[in-house]
Structure 1
């Protein structure tokens, strides 16, 4: 399988850093492979009235997400990835669905996500990783 675009789901965790490292290892062999990083700001299901009150919290969450994405790019630079990197911050009630939609819309060849390393299949993968494996039409690689 020839790769040209890899999408990495990054949440700032150690598992997320492992996903970045794995994607960089894969892309590092070919400078034409584009690595993109996505962070999803999870928004709870709220009424319109609750959303108005939630706006200031959402603003803080989005600021934190932008910082995380900047750290992800810095990490990729530090480990020597010279490939093109683009970042995406998405909002949604279900991170797995948002990641899967982006992977389909932008013709990614693969999605890389970190595992949490806890017990049980769902715990091992994390709930987002577990769901992503189920719904994503693209190959999903889980970084340990």
Structure 2
């Protein structure tokens, strides 16, 4: 099996996201790398700079984004062993674009993503997100159903 030093796992709290976490943990048990959990708060702004996108929002809204982000990331972390090497990250924007940007900026060796998330109304990762990530990623992508 190829060694993956950095495994990116976009998370949204869905069952398929949980399955992606389990798959990443299995892969990482062999490669002993780092797992990066990424939560993307969907925002369709006019700029790619997350600071510009949310700077005009009321504090109550940005506080809610942080609470949701923390809850989803905590849920992800609870599914891995305490000796796992991991980091949690958040981004704001269009999920597929932010996932691809993170993977490029952090030299991810593998992206493990749920095939379908909670949906726009219920959550943030869609089947179309995993499809776009698969088509445009510069590293291998594992889509988990």
On whether the aligned pair clears a TM of 0.5, the verdict is: yes
Do 1:8 and 1:38's aligned partners in 2 also have CA atoms closer than 8 Å? yes
Separation of aligned partners in 1, 2:133 and 2:44 = 19
The residue number in structure 1 matching 2:102 is 102
Q: 1:51 Cα shift?
A: 6.3
The CA deviation at 1:10 is 0.6
Aligned to 1:52: 56
* Equivalent residues in 2 for 1:35-50, closer than 5 Å: 35-45=35-45
Write out aligned runs for 1:60-75 (5 A): 60-75=64-79
- The alpha-carbon distance between structure 1 residues 53 and 5, as it changes in their structure 2 partners (threshold 3 A), is closer
- Aligned residues of 2:116 and 2:130 also touching (Cα < 8 A): no
Residue aligned with 1:76, SS:
coil
CA distance in 2 between partners of 1:116 and 1:95 (Å): 13
The aligned residue for residue 5 of structure 2 is: 4
Using the size of structure 2 for normalisation, the TM-score is 0.80
Cα deviation digits, residues 61-97 of structure 1 (max 9, x gap): 22111111011111113xxx632010001111x1111
Query: What TM-score results when the alignment is normalised by the length of structure 1?
Result: 0.80
Are the equivalent residues in 2 in contact too, given 1:35–1:84 (CA < 8 A)? Answer: yes
What is the total number of aligned residue pairs between the two structures? 131
Task: Specify every segment of 5 or more residues in structure 2 that has no aligned partner in the other structure, as ranges.
Answer: 47-51, 118-125
**Post-superposition shift, 1:44?**
3.0
Q: Which has the larger radius of gyration?
A: 1
Q: CA deviation at 1:54?
A: 5.1
RMSD of aligned C-alpha atoms?
2.3
